[in-house]
């Protein structure tokens, strides 16, 4: 579909750019390798706590995770996640702790992934997304879903094992679909969720249900939320969305019908926008530009044909 062949097609989506990190998953069960990697002088460690990590300004004017050599990191191996290695052979670990370390200097500050994801480079954003997702999952899976007994961390943070029944539990990722629907006049369908602030409109989205294909999920969600029948679905890109454990699968969809009927429960209002109407709505403040990190912004841009205005107050 020619809609995507435009100036915005190559713009990176937050959290999806190549990170340069090899997760090196084959080392996760090798305790001797992990111990050697941990104590290697080039190894870098950052602390994750409650979905936050410390970020700081970098000499080149960017923002990076605050990392330390492992010998400066506290020795709590039970909450140590091995995240991977980079092209230079540097190994990265996250330490899960009850709180972040005290500030190291004036500019280091705690940040969640929604903020940090927009500021960090691809390597650090990927490392933090991985660590935050593991931390979330670890916190919610301390008990075995098969027998109810306690589980313990294994595989450098990537398995929880039940010592009573032997079951192994793996981090879960919940597939969700997010789609920009256009009609035969090439207008885009944007909706407002009930709990969103006034003026916020975005793409429709929802979780894939058991036994359903992602294409079926797109059609079902669009019909449930806006009463629109989808005739055609095209996959565009995906984005990890560890809030707490989703994978966003992004689509462009073509509507077969145009009469909107919102469900009123999840979606309060949905409207068709032409490009001119959306531009005017941004300019008047009637519609707020979408959150920059989200794949929703990218999907809307693909249709809009140029970068969207930045949300007010967003980081430069
Ligand atoms: Zn068990």
Q: What is the pLDDT of residues 266-304, one digit of tens each?
A: 899 999 999 999 999 999 999 998 776 789 999 999 999
Cβ(135)–Cβ(48) below 8 Å: yes
- The tokens describing 142, both together, are 């301390």
- CA of residue 309 to ligand 1 center, whole Å: 51
For domain 25-140, the question of CATH label 3.30.70 is answered with no
- Packing angle, helices 295-304 and 275-284, rounded to 10: 120
- CA of residue 2 to ligand 1 center, whole Å: 52
- CA of residue 160 to ligand 1 center, whole Å: 10
Domains 25-140 and 173-304 share a fold: yes
With CA atoms as reference, report the closest residue to 298 among 248, 260, 257, 227: 248
pLDDT at 78: 62
Cβ(173)–Cβ(247) below 8 Å: yes
pLDDT at 312: 58
E strand or H helix at 227: none
pLDDT at 7: 39
Instruction: Determine the 3-state secondary structure of 28 from DSSP.
Output: coil
- CA of residue 28 to ligand 1 center, whole Å: 21
- CA of residue 169 to ligand 1 center, whole Å: 9
The whole-angstrom separation of Cα 190 and Cα 187 is 10
Annotated domain spans of the chain:
25-140, 173-304
pLDDT at 316: 38
The whole-angstrom separation of Cα 192 and Cα 286 is 12
- CA of residue 96 to ligand 1 center, whole Å: 23
Cβ(52)–Cβ(110) below 8 Å: yes
pLDDT at 18: 84
pLDDT at 294: 81
What pTM did the predictor assign? Answer: 0.87
- CA of residue 161 to ligand 1 center, whole Å: 8
pLDDT at 292: 67
Instruction: Mark the ranges of the chain whose per-residue pLDDT is less than 70.
Output: 1-13, 74-78, 103-105, 292, 311-316
15 contacts: CB under 8 Å, gap ≥ 6: 117, 125, 126, 129, 239, 240, 241, 293
pLDDT at 262: 94
- CA of residue 47 to ligand 1 center, whole Å: 29
Task: Give the right CATH number for 173-304 from 3.90.79.10, 3.40.50.150, 2.130.10.30, 3.40.640.10.
Answer: 3.90.79.10
- CA of residue 95 to ligand 1 center, whole Å: 25
- CA of residue 142 to ligand 1 center, whole Å: 11
CA distances from 6 to 3, 103, 155 (A): 7, 44, 43
């Amino acid at each position: 579909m020619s809609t995507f062949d435009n100036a915005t097609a190559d713009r990176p989506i937050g959290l999806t750019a190549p990170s340069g990190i090899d997760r090196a998953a084959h080392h996760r069960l090798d305790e001797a390798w992990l111990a050697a990697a941990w104590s290697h002088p080039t190894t870098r460690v950052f602390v994750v706590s409650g979905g936050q990590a410390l970020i700081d300004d970098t000499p080149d004017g960017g923002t990076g995770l605050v990392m330390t050599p492992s010998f400066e990191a506290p020795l709590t191996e039970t909450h140590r996640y091995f995240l991977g290695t980079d092209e230079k052979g540097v190994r990265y670990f996250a330490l899960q702790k009850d709180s972040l370390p005290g500030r190291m200097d004036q500019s280091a500050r705690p940040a969640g992934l929604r903020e940090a994801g927009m500021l960090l480079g691809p390597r650090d954003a990927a490392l933090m997304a991985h660590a935050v997702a593991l931390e979330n999952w670890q916190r919610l899976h301390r008990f075995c879903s098969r027998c109810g007994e306690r589980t313990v961390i294994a595989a450098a943070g990537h398995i929880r094992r039940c010592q009573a029944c032997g079951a192994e539990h793996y981090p879960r990722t919940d597939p969700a679909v997010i789609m920009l629907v256009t009609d035969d006049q090439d207008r885009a369908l944007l909706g407002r969720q009930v709990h969103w602030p006034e003026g916020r409109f975005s793409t429709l989205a929802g979780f894939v249900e058991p036994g359903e294909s992602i294409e079926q999920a797109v059609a079902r969600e669009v019909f449930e939320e806006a009463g629109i029948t989808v005739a055609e679905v095209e996959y565009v890109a995906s984005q990890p969305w560890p809030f707490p454990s989703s994978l966003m699968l992004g689509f462009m969809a073509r509507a077969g019908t145009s009469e909107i009927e919102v469900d009123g429960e999840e979606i309060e209002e949905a409207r068709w926008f032409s490009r001119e109407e959306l531009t005017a709505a941004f300019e008047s403040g009637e519609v707020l530009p979408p959150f920059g990190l989200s794949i929703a912004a990218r999907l809307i841009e693909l249709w809009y044909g140029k970068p969207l205005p930045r949300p007010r107050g967003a980081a430069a």
